[in-house]
Amino acid sequence: MSDRLATVERTDAGRLIRFERDFPNSPEDVWSALTDADRLADWWPPFATNVHVDLRVGGTMTFDWPDGPQLEFRFLRVEQPTLLEHTHTSPGSWMRYELEPLGDGTRLRATYFVPDPDEAIQRGDVAGGHYGFDRLQAALAGRPIPFDMDAFASLQHRYAEQSSADAARLWRVGEVVPMGRTEDSAGGSAAGEPLLTSMTGKASPAKQAVGDRPVFDYIASLPEPQRSIALAIDDLAARTLPGLERSVKWGMAYYGVGDGWCFSSGAFVGHVKLMFINGATLLDPVPPVTPTGMGKATRGVELERLEDLDERQAGLWMKQVTAAPGVGRKRR
């Protein structure tokens, strides 16, 4: 078991909570323990549950408790056996696992992004992650251990104590960026062009393509806080609209159901635009923002922070705009 607490890095959008563990097992074996439903059951959930894994970008990992709610995460990146990323419990949050060979074993770096670290600590998410990796170590050694509430409570106390008594030491100043990229002062990414201030033909260099993967790749390329905002919009759309379809058009993420692309999510300097085609005539209430270069009847909202996303209102707008037949009709 590890006594080494996670480190937390501060960003404008939230916090990066980092764990690091070394295992004598191969990267392929650790990958299997992270992704195989039967092996996940040995260390991830605190209680007996049914685990289901659809291991693909856009697929889900679900935990069904017999007497409780279903917990569902959606895979954002799957690069076997070195990189795994999925959504987490809070809107806009995500977990990333990076595996690299270390001699005959593996170094695992896990990063948990959460908008509100104090809430995550109080909920037990951080202590749960720490204790989960302790249980993973035992499972990889072939000796799975049951969830020990006393051990968890001890970790919970340590994280809560360190958070309140020595915040300056725990919240280390840092920046959140997608793996392998760095933010620049213009709010862009070293992997692509700087973000634009408004729509001028295309919002980004992202190529037009239909499907889940192009949209997830576009979101992954964004700097924070735009990345977490776009991820929360995508997650809300998936939860709100059965049969959701995705595409990248004009350098943004577009969403629709049936025969139309109905609304978009695009990152710009300082904000994300959530825009609805024909929103001026189809939505009630009409969203307040009329964007430049996106159609005279398009209306939406500009989100500077994750907290600006009103899930209830945005979800209602998504339902309203997709209920109108042929909005933003797709070209066959």
Q: pLDDT per residue over 91-146, tens digit each?
A: 788 999 999 999 999 999 999 988 877 777 777 888 889 999 999 999 999 999 99
Q: Are residues 73 and 21 in the same domain?
A: yes
pLDDT in the model for residue 327: 57
Give the C-alpha separation, 221 to 88, whole Å.
Answer: 19
Give the C-alpha separation, 256 to 266, whole Å.
Answer: 15
> 310: domain range?
209-323
In terms of pLDDT, which residue wins out, 293 or 253? 253
Residue 233 included in any domain: yes
pLDDT (mean) for 283-292: 89
Q: Are residues 240 and 314 in the same domain?
A: yes
Give the tokens for residue 233.
């919009």
Residue 331 included in any domain: no
Q: Are residues 316 and 269 in the same domain?
A: yes
Share of the chain above pLDDT 90, in %: 43
Q: Are residues 145 and 248 in the same domain?
A: no
Q: Which long-range contacts (CB under 8 A, 24 or more apart) does 204-207 make?
A: 204/251, 204/252, 204/266, 204/267, 205/251, 206/248, 206/251, 206/252, 207/248
Q: Are residues 147 and 213 in the same domain?
A: no
Residue 188 included in any domain: no
pLDDT (mean) for 279-287: 90
pLDDT (mean) for 213-241: 89
Q: Are residues 46 and 140 in the same domain?
A: yes
Radius of gyration of the chain (CA): 21
Lowest mean pLDDT of 49-63, 183-197, 213-227, 247-261, name the range: 183-197
Q: Are residues 19 and 122 in the same domain?
A: yes
For residue 254, the surrounding DSSP H or E stretch is: strand 252-257
Res. 184: pLDDT tops 80: no
Give the C-alpha separation, 291 to 197, whole Å.
Answer: 11
Give the tokens for residue 55.
């291991």
Q: What is the 3-state composition of the chain as percent helix, strand, coil, each rounded to the nearest 5?
A: 30, 30, 40
Q: Are residues 44 and 124 in the same domain?
A: yes
pTM (whole model) above 0.75: no
Is 117 exposed, middle or buried (CB count within 10 Å of its CB: 0-12, 13-18, 19+)?
buried
pLDDT in the model for residue 186: 31
CATH code where residue 235 lies: 3.90.1150.200
Mean pLDDT of the chain, nearest integer? 82
Res. 163: pLDDT tops 80: no
Residue 193 included in any domain: no
pLDDT confidence bin for 207, thresholds 50/70/90? confident
pLDDT in the model for residue 165: 43
Residue 116 included in any domain: yes
pLDDT in the model for residue 171: 33
pLDDT in the model for residue 12: 67
Q: What is the pLDDT of residues 18-38, one digit of tens each?
A: 999 999 999 999 999 999 999
Amino acid at the residue 38: D
Domain total of the chain: 2
Share of the chain above pLDDT 70, in %: 83
Judge contact between 35 and 82, C-beta under 8 A: no
pLDDT in the model for residue 116: 77
Q: Are residues 167 and 247 in the same domain?
A: no
pLDDT (mean) for 257-265: 87
Q: Are residues 242 and 299 in the same domain?
A: yes
Res. 10: pLDDT tops 90: no
